[in-house]
């Protein structure tokens, strides 16, 4: 699911631009099936966002002069066509969920990204939370959804949307201490949601070996206990070794390895949604993900995991059964 429809939301000088999506699309094999995105209904946004916020963003876009980008905060812009582009992004992620529920892997290559968008606030390049809206809508059809977020940054918006529910397991692996400053292991959920938020902040310089260890020891076992009816992935490839926004060290094939680990779990097809990813190797990472969805399997690179990653994994193992589901 992708297209030029997202070009209506653009600021060519910003890292999160349509040029970035075009570059990423170079990694998609020419024979991959492409599906035209469909626009979500504005009412769908209200599954996660407040009506007042939806109206405010629509007005902000309408008032932005044609051909310009207007800034909501120092990071986040909207243009006159952004509200429409955002509806297509939400709609395309929902289409990916529908494909997954029908048993077919799919990857919604959309922008603007969504995982920082809070119920009533735009943040970190995100206007509406594409994955959270599609996940909330999917709860009409399945009892439990897992959202795995391997973007470089913590998906604070997605975490907030499902913090108090036991029907969505949110698992995030991200670089420690970066924007937006949340995503500590102590953030585990609240009320009925305690234990259904899992955060694994990793040290800078972490490799595919660190991510694979966290997946093998924390993420995959938690998903098995949760028995989801749907697996959604917030797929941001800004943890790549050459990404200008971070200092992680994943190789393109590592994203294929993580995709393969989730696809092999047996909880149905995956619905992936693009979040970040700004480096030169992004297209190759997208190619590895698509190849993994097509059955190729990758071995994580990077040698031995860091001592800090091992400590994190051991801390989770000790608490297993006490705080984890
Ligand atoms: Zn990111």
Mean per-residue pLDDT over the chain, rounded? 94
Q: Quick one: average pLDDT of 29-35?
A: 91
Report CA(113)–ligand 1 centroid distance (Å).
9
The dihedral sign for the CA sequence 177, 211, 171, 117 = positive
Q: Quick one: average pLDDT of 306-325?
A: 78
Could you confirm whether 174 is annotated as catalytic?
Answer: no
* pLDDT tens sequence across 263-312: 999 999 999 999 999 999 999 999 999 999 999 999 999 889 999 999 99
Judge contact between 220 and 261, C-beta under 8 A.
Answer: yes
Structure-derived torsion over alpha carbons of residues 27, 32, 36, 42, reported in degrees to the nearest 10: -70
Tokens of 163: 């913090």
- Tracing tokens 């892997």 back to the chain, one arrives at 105
Report CA(83)–ligand 1 centroid distance (Å).
21
Catalytic residue among 115, 116, 154, 174, which?
116
How do strand 230-235 and strand 106-108 relate by DSSP bridges? unpaired
* Cα angle value 290/145/220 (rounded, 5°): 65
Report CA(114)–ligand 1 centroid distance (Å).
10
- State the DSSP string of 35-50: ----PPPHHHHTTTS-
Running DSSP on this structure, what letter comes out for residue 226? Answer: H
The pLDDT assigned to 322 comes to 46
Burial of 28 (0-12, 13-18, 19+ CB in 10 A): middle
Q: What is the spatial distance between Cα 27 and Cα 23, in angstroms, rounded to a whole number? A: 8
* pLDDT tens sequence across 66-94: 989 999 999 999 888 999 999 999 999 99
Q: Quick one: average pLDDT of 225-245?
A: 97
Q: What is the spatial distance between Cα 127 and Cα 114, in angstroms, rounded to a whole number? A: 6
Report CA(300)–ligand 1 centroid distance (Å).
21
Q: What is the spatial distance between Cα 89 and Cα 111, in angstroms, rounded to a whole number? A: 6
In degrees and rounded to multiples of 5, residue 231 shows phi and psi of -115, 115
Q: What is the spatial distance between Cα 68 and Cα 25, in angstroms, rounded to a whole number? A: 25
Query: Distance between terminal CA atoms of the chain?
Result: 33
Assess whether pLDDT exceeds 80 at residue 321. Answer: no
The pLDDT assigned to 325 comes to 46
Report CA(98)–ligand 1 centroid distance (Å).
25
60 Cβ neighbours under 8 A, 6+ residues apart: 70, 72, 78
Report CA(175)–ligand 1 centroid distance (Å).
10
Report CA(322)–ligand 1 centroid distance (Å).
31
């Amino acid at each position: 699911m992708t297209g030029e429809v997202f070009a209506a939301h653009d600021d060519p000088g910003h890292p999160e631009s349509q040029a970035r999506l075009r570059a990423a699309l170079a990694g998609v094999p020419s024979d991959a099936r492409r599906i035209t995105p469909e626009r979500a209904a504005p009412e769908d946004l209200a599954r996660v966002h407040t009506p007042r916020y939806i109206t405010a963003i629509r007005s902000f876009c309408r008032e932005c002069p044609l051909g310009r980008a207007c800034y909501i905060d120092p990071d986040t812009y909207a243009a006159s066509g952004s509200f429409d582009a955002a509806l297509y992004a939400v709609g395309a992620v929902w289409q990916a969920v529908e494909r997954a529920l029908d048993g077919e892997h799919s990857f919604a290559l959309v922008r603007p990204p969504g995982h920082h968008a809070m119920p009533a606030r735009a943040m970190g390049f995100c206007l509406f939370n594409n994955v959270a809206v599609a996940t909330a809508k999917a709860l009409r059809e399945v009892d439990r959804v897992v959202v795995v977020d391997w973007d470089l940054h913590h998906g604070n918006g997605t975490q907030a949307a499902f913090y108090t529910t036991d029907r969505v397991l949110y698992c995030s692996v991200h670089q420690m201490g970066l924007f937006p400053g949340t995503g500590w292991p102590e953030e585990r959920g609240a009320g009925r949601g305690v234990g259904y938020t899992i955060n694994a902040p990793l040290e800078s310089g972490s490799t595919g070996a660190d991510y694979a260890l966290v997946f093998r020891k924390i993420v995959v076992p938690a998903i098995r206990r949760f028995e989801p009816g749907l697996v959604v992935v917030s797929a941001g490839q800004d943890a790549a070794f050459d990404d200008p926004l971070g200092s992680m060290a994943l190789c393109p094939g590592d994203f294929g390895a993580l995709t393969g680990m989730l696809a092999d779990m047996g909880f149905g097809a995956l619905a992936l949604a693009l979040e970040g990813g700004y480096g030169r190797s992004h297209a190759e990472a997208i190619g590895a993900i698509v190849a993994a969805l097509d059955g190729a399997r990758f071995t994580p690179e990077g040698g031995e995991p860091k001592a800090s990653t091992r400590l994190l994994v051991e801390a989770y193992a000790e608490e297993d059964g006490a705080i984890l589901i």
